Amino acid sequence: MVVLLAPTFHLGFIFDDAHNAAETGSALSAVGETLGSEIRGDWADWAHVGRFFPLSEYIRVLFWAVDGRLWLYRLGILCLVLANAGLFSLLVRKLTGSGGLAILGFLLAPALFQVRYFHDPIMSYAGLLQAVTFFTFLSLIALLSWLTDRRPYQLALSLAAYGASLLTYEIGLPFFLLHALLIWGFPRTRSFREVVRMAWPFAAMAAGCALVPVLFRLSGNVALSGNASAGAWTPHLQFGAVLTALSKQTLGALPLSYYASRAVGTRLGLTNGFLLGTPAQYLALFPAAVVSLIALAGLVTHVAIRWAASSSSDSHMTPAASPSLVLLLGAGLWILPGALISLSPVRQAELYWGVSYLPVYVSYFGVALVVLGVVQAILRRWPQRTHALIVVLTLCIGGLAALWYGNATTATEVLDREWHYPRSAITDAASARLFQGVAPEAVYVTSGDRFWDIPIFFASLSPNVPARVQHLGAVASGVENLSGDRSTRAGATTIAVQPEQDVYFIDYDGRSDGSGYALVTKIATLTVQPGGGFRIEGQPIAYFRSAPTGQPTWSRKASQLLPAEKPLKTSRQLGLPTTGRSSSTAAGTLIRYSQGQVFDGQWKPTATRR
């Protein structure tokens, strides 16, 4: 598990994490907020759009505690995934009565993970799906214990854990069916009347948590359902759209579905096909990892299957679920997590075959349980014929694990190029006092529209809290207003900023070898040229150039499947003066400019934020 997740330790804050990671305690204080006010604000905002999952605010507490330390955040995610695998193993042990299958489950589930260049539940989103999975497995384990021991605290723990999962993320609403399934079939088959009598608290809890957002919507005049163009959280109940989205979400949990979807979809137009390597390329890229993971899988699988085979014929093994119950529970864990997601018009539009949304993380464990149900059935039928089963499982688990490792390493490099390397450059520059001399409560105009370019992020870097952060392209197009006199000549529009106004231009970028730059200059004029480019003139404040540290081996290998990085612009290409007062630190060199020096730089339009 640790080996498989090792590539993610190099990954920066991406997607929602890039925004949330900036909300440290000091940054919140700088913008006049507190952790409590942020949480209360989120609760109000979610209630306004008709959603109810208050325990998800642990994310705010997590990033407040992490305080920008990326290694600590990644370590926390690793611990959560390990806890999920451990609880899954315990669930298998409780369900089947087999320690061998429990060990196999611990090995199998992580091998089924896939990394997609999409909303990924392992590489981002602050462990949200790991928390839901933890509570779900804990609830099911406690229920299995109660069904055999009948101790009240076990039922109370099962209900409490299920309630926690419901209040963390709504995908758990249909999971009461999983509890009803276990009540029906474990450790003996019960009548429908018994199932209703014993399972009603779980159904009532799910109904209550579903009713609250309905009341929010009714009180706030938010539609209970809508069409395909409705908001992300307004259900679109057209049967065909829901069924298609659920099918995509479900099939995306199958191993290699990402690769199969590209092979088929690029011909039929069914997928975006954004995949940078084939399975063979990933396996060839990291031969040592392939051999090591297959060898480890073979050793553990041999022990697990031998143990499971010896215990499958043990007449004293009690209690143990039948393979059919294991298969049904696995199917439920595989399909149900995507049920609510499939109602969202946004997910209906953006899901591709082989590309699933966040709840696919829970579905991985469902697929693993289905496989374990098949293995259990084979061992019960042919307990002495295990050689072929060991070979097949070894090659499948080891091969999938090695593929996951190569894919995760390459995905990390792709995502870091967009998210981590530029962020590291501006962070290093801030530590070298890039923003010294910048007026407080100024307006920042950034060259890129990066997801984290918000006031609280810059507040986390320096004591200067910007009044606003705007994107160069949005300012030039008039989407965002920049005060100043506007004039047009030969098709070019020039905005002249008054000298007493504090408007600063910020540009930064970074590369995988640790090199990067950042600059800040006070804007005098901003010109939008006819071809869509921009020209900025003004007073340069400071320029930082980080010292290259060299590209790590993992990054260099992953780069073999990626387009070459473009070289960083030089200070002359950026339009900066050739002279200035320089000072060096371990991170790099800072050049500070004096009054009267001129900045004159040109930029092309950049992509909008993701």
Comparing 234-248, 465-479, 544-558, the range with the smallest average pLDDT is 465-479
Taking the chain, what is the end-to-end CA distance rounded to the nearest angstrom? Answer: 30
Say which residue, 72 or 279, is predicted with more confidence.
72
| Integer Cα distance of 525 and 26 in angstroms | 34
What are the DSSP calls for 151-164, one per residue?
A: -HHHHHHHHHHHHH
Mean pLDDT of 280-292: 82
Burial of 381 (0-12, 13-18, 19+ CB in 10 A): exposed
pLDDT digits (tens, 9 = 90+) for 241-274: 999 999 999 999 998 887 766 655 555 544 444 4
pLDDT at 156: 97
* Other residues' Cβ atoms within 10 Å of the Cβ of residue 443: 21
Strands 503-510 and 443-446: parallel
Q: What is the CA radius of gyration of the chain?
A: 27
pLDDT at 499: 81
Comparing 121-130, 196-205, 281-290, the range with the smallest average pLDDT is 281-290
| Integer Cα distance of 156 and 580 in angstroms | 69
Residue 443, both tokens: 């307006």
Looking only at Cα atoms, what is the longest distance across the chain?
A: 91
Residue 610, pLDDT > 50, answer no
| Integer Cα distance of 232 and 179 in angstroms | 29
| Integer Cα distance of 480 and 478 in angstroms | 5
Binned at pLDDT 50, 70 and 90, residue 275 comes out as: low
Quickly tell me which residue has 């307990």 as its tokens: 383
Give CA separation, 141 vs 96, 147, 415, in Å. Answer: 12, 10, 37
pLDDT digits (tens, 9 = 90+) for 60-98: 999 999 988 999 999 999 999 999 999 999 999 999 999
CB of 425 within 8 A of CB of 508? Answer: yes
Say which residue, 354 or 532, is predicted with more confidence.
354
Give CA separation, 21 vs 64, 281, 462, in Å. Answer: 8, 34, 15
What are the DSSP calls for 405-451, one per residue?
A: HHHHHHHHHHHHHHTHHHHHHHHHHHHTTTTTTPPTT-EEEESS--T
Binned at pLDDT 50, 70 and 90, residue 136 comes out as: very high
Dihedral class, residue 102 (left if φ above 0, else alpha if ψ from -120 to 50, else beta): alpha
pLDDT at 93: 94
pLDDT at 29: 84
φ, ψ dihedrals at 526, nearest 5°:
-125, 120
pLDDT at 315: 40
Percentage, residues of the chain above pLDDT 70: 94
pLDDT at 609: 46
pLDDT digits (tens, 9 = 90+) for 296-326: 889 999 899 988 888 765 544 457 888 999 9
Spacing of C-alpha 296 from chain mean position:
28
Mean pLDDT of 126-147: 97
Query: Of all helices (H) and strands (E), which one includes residue 11?
Result: none
| Integer Cα distance of 250 and 478 in angstroms | 43
pLDDT at 471: 87
Residue 364, pLDDT > 50, answer yes
Angle at 108 between CA 290 and CA 320, to 5 degrees: 155
Instruction: Tell me whether the omega of the peptide bond preceding residue 577 falls within 30 degrees of 0, making it cis.
Output: no
Give CA separation, 120 vs 14, 276, 355, 490, in Å. Answer: 10, 16, 10, 47
pLDDT at 312: 61
Binned at pLDDT 50, 70 and 90, residue 507 comes out as: very high
Most trustworthy range by pLDDT among 172-181, 231-240, 295-304, 594-603: 172-181
| Integer Cα distance of 285 and 133 in angstroms | 32
Residue 17 identity (one-letter amino acid): D
Mean pLDDT of 437-459: 88
Say which residue, 169 or 224, is predicted with more confidence.
169
Dihedral of the alpha carbons of 132, 133, 139, 145, in degrees to the nearest 10:
-170
CB of 582 within 8 A of CB of 594? Answer: no
| Integer Cα distance of 172 and 164 in angstroms | 10
Q: Mean pLDDT for the chain?
A: 88
* Other residues' Cβ atoms within 10 Å of the Cβ of residue 403: 26
pLDDT at 608: 45
β-sheet bridge partners, residue 492: 489
CB of 239 within 8 A of CB of 231? Answer: no
